[in-house]
Amino acid sequence: MEIAFVGGSESVLGFNLAGVKKSYAANTEDEMVSKIGDVMADSSVGILVLKQSDYNKLPKRLQEQLSESIKPTMITIGTEQSTEMREKIKRAIGVDLWK
């Protein structure tokens, strides 16, 4: 299983330097939707990483699809507080690790 990142060109460079081979630059909403579709169709990707701010700009239908996706599992990063990761872990293993 591989990790993929979709986001702005500046962030892609950082992920490439960190060893993430499947990093895709997408600077507009249309490019973002297209690249995410490509990643979701790639069976070798197990984790999709997006910036929280980019995720918030996506169409609601795609947000729902990503939130419910098991493969790839979507993880958002950024400064915005989110309980999404906690909920995904709880759903996956049935235990709330934060308690």
What does each C-alpha distance from 68 to 16, 63, 65, 83, 84 come to in angstroms? 27, 9, 5, 14, 11
In a domain? residue 19: yes
Report the predicted TM-score, pTM, of the whole model to 2 decimal places.
0.78
The pLDDT of residue 7: 93
- Tens of each residue's pLDDT in the chain, 99 residues: 899 999 998 889 989 998 999 999 999 999 999 999 999 999 999 999 999 889 999 999 999 999 888 889 888 887 655 566 667 666 766 776 566
In a domain? residue 42: yes
Residues 6+ apart with CB under 8 A from 11: 5, 51
The 8-class DSSP code of residue 19 comes to T
Give the span between the Cα atoms of 9 and 31, in whole angstroms. 12
What range does the domain containing 73 cover?
2-93
The pLDDT of residue 44: 94
In a domain? residue 99: no
Q: How many folded domains does the chain comprise? A: 1
